């Protein structure tokens, strides 16, 4: 094995199969590592006495933990179509929103138990342990955000023994998560870069801790006292520390909104799942996000719905219809919008230069079929029989890829970026009566977005917002800033705002070529059609898709029935027929 491959094994960029070959000693692999005598057996003293093997074990834990691109997650909220949440979408019998990663937690606990008996150098051992503490905290936080309190397991159980313990309280679980994150912080370097980029460091720990404590303080866990509980001060302190320390370590907002995903390892990226070509590609599933005319095998993912398109401010930061500087009309909806709109939304007639096709425009209308300007699978309107909205998402795409190579997209998934740290801080600041600090963050985010400052220097914001108004403004900013990054669902859930979805339906925008560009025989007289060469009608995405129904019980999901049957010591959540209270 050459030096380059050894470096890959020691970082999260490793291909999962290579890890398993190292760890399990598959037949015919005697040349994988020159200094390994017998790949068929790896007793603990062998694994925990070798930096390469110990890091390979850790890499396998990364592969079982790190999230990937949240493709089509917006169908569960007011972001994309055509799917909806309805009654019985989540049950204790199905696998929807179920997460029970105790097999991975067992392997993390094995690491903690065995590494102390190994012969690794202290700095190597501590760095591995620090990352493992974070990974365990990650799994527990996801479970707690789903269910509330779950069993806390700190030591590995025997392979032939089921998990036969009861649930800890939600408060105990939050304490345990913070305990693991604090332990991780003590053992890790401030910031990993270059060949170690993608590994968990102090920066990721602090940013994630701020996210965890924001959830702990939230209305989801404190419905009887949602915004005046003592946890908000804790969340403020953690997010301020994260903001200040990350700033000291060189983190900042990327120069442009576009650069966040286009310029990998930029200074806004705090925690990322790394994709490389060849070896680990298509995390973005670009083949499904693109229109089929410029892709293969799939289409229809992450298609923005009309209400989301309308949510973007005007370029002066005011809501559509409320700007004194820029008029708004459905027939010219794309004009003078927040620059993040153009970085995220591909609309009818817009430049969408996929496959490096200069001046290529995207069309989504039946009027152009069978014209070469559009493909029947890319359209939206009355005649469609499948989910289209009239829009496409362009965030995270490698637009220069030809259709034949669309599945080689290797854009990293950025799970935590500096903008989230800032907005988490702003939210906690507002709830602890520090509105000036919260507004300063919103102005910074909008300035980077390219929104006009305005004569008052407020970037379209009101200077005298009350606490409730500023709360709404922060959540509205998060909706735009983190479009198609999987955060809208969590934001509505943790703030107990399902009522914004309940009873809603999903709409798209249908385009029709204006009469002056069609001759008496129905042929187009103009081929370079622009967005203004169409008229637009708001239309329901698919008429037989029901309206959204989001019960109160969905704020905490039910434990899966099969897990309850295996372990009689588990209690089901109270809203699902049990006795366990998942709230704080």
Q: Given this model, what pLDDT does residue 365 score?
A: 85
Cβ atoms of 114 and 48 closer than 8 Å: yes
Q: Which residue has the tokens 């029947």?
A: 376
Residue 532 lies inside a defined structural domain of this protein:
yes
Residue 319 lies inside a defined structural domain of this protein:
yes
Question: 366 is in which domain, residue-wise?
Answer: 286-411+505-540
Residue 334 lies inside a defined structural domain of this protein:
yes
- Sign, CA dihedral 99-104-110-115, equals negative
Give the pLDDT confidence of 259-301 residue by residue, as tens digits. 999 999 999 999 999 999 998 999 999 999 999 889 988 888 9
Give the pLDDT confidence of 236-265 residue by residue, as tens digits. 999 999 999 999 999 999 999 999 999 999
C-alpha–C-alpha distance, residues 304 and 283, integer Å? 19
Q: What is the total count of domains within the chain?
A: 1
Residue 226 lies inside a defined structural domain of this protein:
no
Residue 248 lies inside a defined structural domain of this protein:
no
Residue 263 lies inside a defined structural domain of this protein:
no
Residue 250 lies inside a defined structural domain of this protein:
no
C-alpha–C-alpha distance, residues 273 and 276, integer Å? 10
C-alpha–C-alpha distance, residues 139 and 135, integer Å? 6
Q: For residue 278, is the peptide bond before it cis, meaning its omega torsion is within 30 degrees of 0?
A: yes
Longest dimension (CA), the chain: 85
Cβ atoms of 178 and 185 closer than 8 Å: no
Q: Which residue has the tokens 């922060």?
A: 474
Q: Which residue has the tokens 């892709």?
A: 295
C-alpha–C-alpha distance, residues 104 and 142, integer Å? 13
Q: Which residue has the tokens 């996929």?
A: 354
Measure Cα distances from 530 to 382, 392, 511, 527, 535 in Å.
22, 17, 11, 9, 11
E strand intervals along 286-438: 303-304, 345-347, 391-393, 413-417
Kindly report the three-state secondary structure assignment for every residue of 126-193: HHHHHHHHHHHHHHHHHHHHHHCCCCCCCCCCCCCCCCCCCCCCHHHHHHHHHHHHHHHHHHCCCCCC
Q: What is the pTM of this model?
A: 0.92
Q: From the centroid of its chain, how far is CA 206?
A: 18
Q: Given this model, what pLDDT does residue 544 score?
A: 72
Measure Cα distances from 18 to 14, 23, 29, 59 in Å.
7, 9, 10, 10
Q: From the centroid of its chain, how far is CA 161?
A: 35
Give the pLDDT confidence of 171-214 residue by residue, as tens digits. 999 999 999 999 999 999 999 999 999 999 999 999 999 999 99
Q: Given this model, what pLDDT does residue 1 score?
A: 32
Q: Burial, 518: exposed, middle or buried (Cβ in 10 Å; 0-12, 13-18, 19+)?
A: middle
Residue 16 lies inside a defined structural domain of this protein:
no
E strand intervals along 27-150: 80-81
Q: Burial, 457: exposed, middle or buried (Cβ in 10 Å; 0-12, 13-18, 19+)?
A: exposed
Q: Given this model, what pLDDT does residue 565 score?
A: 93
- What are the tokens at 441? 């963050």
Q: From the centroid of its chain, how far is CA 15?
A: 22
Q: Given this model, what pLDDT does residue 473 score?
A: 98
Measure Cα distances from 580 to 106, 118, 469, 573 in Å.
24, 41, 35, 5
Q: Given this model, what pLDDT does residue 162 score?
A: 59
- What are the tokens at 331? 């027939």
If one counts every other C-beta atom within 10 angstroms of the C-beta of residue 89, the result is: 17
All residue ranges of the chain with pLDDT < 50 are 1-41, 370
Q: Given this model, what pLDDT does residue 385 score?
A: 67
- What are the tokens at 512? 């029709």
Q: Residue 449's closest CA among 257, 166, 255?
A: 257
């Amino acid at each position: 094995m050459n030096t380059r491959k050894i470096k890959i094994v020691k970082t999260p960029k490793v291909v999962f199969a290579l890890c398993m070959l190292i760890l399990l000693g598959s037949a015919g692999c005697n040349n994988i590592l020159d200094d390994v005598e017998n790949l068929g057996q790896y007793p603990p003293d062998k694994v925990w006495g070798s930096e390469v093997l110990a890091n390979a074990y850790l890499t396998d834990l990364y592969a079982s933990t790190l999230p990937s691109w949240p493709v089509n997650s917006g169908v569960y909220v007011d972001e994309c179509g055509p799917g909806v949440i309805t009654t019985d979408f989540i049950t204790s019998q199905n696998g929807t929103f179920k997460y029970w990663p105790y097999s991975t937690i067992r392997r993390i606990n094995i690491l903690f138990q065995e590494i102390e008996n190994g012969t690794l150098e202290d700095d190597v051992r501590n760095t591995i342990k620090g990352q493992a503490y974070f990974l365990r905290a990650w799994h527990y936080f996801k479970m707690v955000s789903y269910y509330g309190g779950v069993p806390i397991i700190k030591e590995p159980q025997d392979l032939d023994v089921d998990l036969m313990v009861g649930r800890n309280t939600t408060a105990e679980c939050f304490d345990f998560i913070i305990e693991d994150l604090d332990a991780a912080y003590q053992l890790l370097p401030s910031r990993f870069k270059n060949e170690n980029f993608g590994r968990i460091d102090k920066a990721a720990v602090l940013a994630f801790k701020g996210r965890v404590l924001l959830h702990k303080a939230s209305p989801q866990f404190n419905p009887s006292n949602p915004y005046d509980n003592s946890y908000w001060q804790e969340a403020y302190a953690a997010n301020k520390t994260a903001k200040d320390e990350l700033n000291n370590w060189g983190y900042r907002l990327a120069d442009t909104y576009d650069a966040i995903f286009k310029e990998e390892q930029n200074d806004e990226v705090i925690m990322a799942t790394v994709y490389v070509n060849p070896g680990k590609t298509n995390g973005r599933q670009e083949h499904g996000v693109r229109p089929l005319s410029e892709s293969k095998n799939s289409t229809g993912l992450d298609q923005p719905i009309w209400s989301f398109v309308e949510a973007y401010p005007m370029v002066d930061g005011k809501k559509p219809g409320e700007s004194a500087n820029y008029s708004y009309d459905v027939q010219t909806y794309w004009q003078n919008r927040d620059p993040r709109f153009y970085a995220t939304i591909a609309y009818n007639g817009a430049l969408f230069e996929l496959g490096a096709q200069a001046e290529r425009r995207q069309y989504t209308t039946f009027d152009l079929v069978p014209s070469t300007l559009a493909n029947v699978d890319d359209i939206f309107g009355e005649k469609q029989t499948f989910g289209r909205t009239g829009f496409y998402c362009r965030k995270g795409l490698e637009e220069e890829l030809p259709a034949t190579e669309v599945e080689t997209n290797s854009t990293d998934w950025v799970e935590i970026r500096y903008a989230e740290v800032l907005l988490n801080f702003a939210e906690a600041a507002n709830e602890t009566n520090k509105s000036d600090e919260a507004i300063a963050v919103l102005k910074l985010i909008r300035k980077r977005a390219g929104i006009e400052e305005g004569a008052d220097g407020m970037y379209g914001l009101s200077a005298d917002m009350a606490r409730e108004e500023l709360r709404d403004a922060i959540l509205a900013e998060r909706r735009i800033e983190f479009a198609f990054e999987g955060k809208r669902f969590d934001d509505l859930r943790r703030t107990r705002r399902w009522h914004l979805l309940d009873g809603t339906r999903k709409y798209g925008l249908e385009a029709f070529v204006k009469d002056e560009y069609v001759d008496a025989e129905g042929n187009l007289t103009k081929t370079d059609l622009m967005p203004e060469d169409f008229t637009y009608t708001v239309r329901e995405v698919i008429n037989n898709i029901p309206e959204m129904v989001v019960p109160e019980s969905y704020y905490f999901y039910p434990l899966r029935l099969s897990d309850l049957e295996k372990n009689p010591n588990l209690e089901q959540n109270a809203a699902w027929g049990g006795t366990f209270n998942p709230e704080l």
